[in-house]
Amino acid sequence: MHINKLTEDYAVCAQIQAADVAAIKAAGYRSIICNRPDSEEFGQPPVAEIAAAAKAEGLVFHHVPVVSGRMTMDDVKAMAAALAEAPAPVLAFCRSGARSGNIWQAAQELQP
């Protein structure tokens, strides 16, 4: 799992597995945000499985699904709300990490 730190408080990566959550916690992350819709791709683990692993490790988990290439303002507002509630540092993931970076950037632009 390659983690790309965008700031001290926010990083992105490609799809994670439930088995990765303990290592994510050990790396110091306190929250995980999933930006993939369930069943976006064959073989993708269910969001509920990763959410349960996060909960078991004491991490905050948010699901802000964004359809690849079709990010909406509602998606951006949902991400901004999740970021406001999520203790930092936050690790967000999607298929490649790019979508999680793009929606984070868009959410930053909503800040006054």
Q: Which of 84, 76, 48 is nearest to 63 (CA)?
A: 48
pLDDT tens string 11-24: 999 999 999 999 99
pLDDT for the residue numbered 45:
96
pLDDT for the residue numbered 105:
96
Q: At what angle do helices 73-85 and 98-108 cross, to 10 degrees?
A: 80
Kindly state the tokens that stand for 78.
């949902």
Provide long-range contacts, Cβ within 8 A and 24+ apart, for 41-46. 41/95, 44/15, 45/15, 45/17, 45/18
pLDDT tens string 2-59: 999 999 999 999 999 999 999 999 999 999 999 999 999 999 999 999 999 999 999 9
The residue count of the chain comes to 112
pLDDT tens string 68-110: 889 999 999 999 999 999 999 999 999 999 999 999 999 998 8
Domains, in order of start, for the chain: 3-108 (3.90.190.10)
Angle at 10 between CA 40 and CA 58, to 5 degrees: 80
Above 80 in pLDDT, residue 112? no
Q: Which of 97, 45, 38 is nearest to 63 (CA)?
A: 38
pTM for the structure as a whole:
0.95
Q: Between the CA of residue 76 and those of 7, 43, 66, 81, 85, what are the distances in Å? A: 18, 27, 9, 9, 14
